[in-house]
């Protein structure tokens, strides 16, 4: 025999609690927007503190970098480390500090640099440079001063660099170029060739 009974669920009263008023909702929205803006501002400040961006102008770094490309620079690269041969850097142009140049480090303080017969020698050792556009048509020799670096463009015969105006003071370096980010089809990490061992053998 079935003794089950149907028990009706208790009557549920509608939620009559007052909803937040317009002022409260508006205040909440404004607070959330303010927090978002604050976080975005802090991120923007941090990104600009640690990095910078530069537009490549001209063809002095071809084929590594091309005119019109945008590059991210690591501002802190040399706060705790030293520049190395083969790295691409951005710096204030010594003859016009308002301008920004981008070149490759070839020589460090105390190095002897010589360009002869289309080749670059560092401390008497010829460098293997797969990144250059063409062999240099000029010749010369230089000694890198203390607290200076010697920089050359990869497009050796179309570049204003240390073979024109001498070595660069390290204090003028803004940072190390790390990424091409525009145009998007050129997005890539910038290679930094290790030419240290060849020069120090």
Measured between its terminal Cα atoms, the distance across the chain in Å is 102
Distance CA(200)–CA(182), nearest Å, equals: 36
Distance CA(27)–CA(110), nearest Å, equals: 64
To the query of whether residue 17 is one of the catalytic residues in this protein, the response is: no
Q: Which of 60, 64, 159, 162 is catalytic?
A: 60
To the query of whether residue 103 is one of the catalytic residues in this protein, the response is: yes
CB atoms within 10 A of CB 170: 17
Q: Which residues touch 109 (CB under 8 Å, ≥6 apart)?
A: 144, 145, 146, 147, 148, 149
Distance CA(136)–CA(144), nearest Å, equals: 19
Q: Which of 12, 13, 103, 197 is catalytic?
A: 103
Distance CA(104)–CA(150), nearest Å, equals: 8
Residues known to be catalytic: 60, 103
């Amino acid at each position: 025999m079935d003794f089950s009974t149907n028990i009706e669920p208790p009557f549920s009263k509608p939620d009559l609690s007052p909803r937040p008023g317009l002022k409260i909702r508006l205040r909440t929205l404004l607070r959330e927007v303010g927090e978002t803006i604050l976080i975005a501002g802090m991120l923007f400040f941090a990104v600009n503190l640690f990095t910078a961006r530069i537009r490549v102008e001209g063809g002095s770094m071809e084929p590594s970098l091309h005119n019109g490309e945008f590059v991210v620079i690591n501002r802190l690269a040399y706060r705790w480390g030293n520049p190395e041969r083969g790295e691409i850097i951005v710096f204030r142009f010594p003859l016009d500090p308002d301008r920004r140049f981008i070149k490759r480090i070839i020589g460090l303080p105390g190095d002897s640099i010589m360009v002869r017969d289309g080749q670059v020698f560092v401390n008497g050792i010829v460098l293997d440079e797969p990144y250059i556009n063409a062999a240099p048509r000029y010749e010369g020799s230089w000694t890198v001063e203390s607290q200076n670096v010697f920089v050359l463009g990869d497009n050796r015969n179309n570049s204003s660099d240390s073979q024109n105006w001498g070595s660069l003071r390290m204090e003028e370096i803004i940072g190390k170029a790390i990424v091409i980010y525009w145009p998007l089809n050129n997005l890539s990490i910038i290679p930094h060739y290790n030419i240290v061992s060849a020069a120090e053998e």
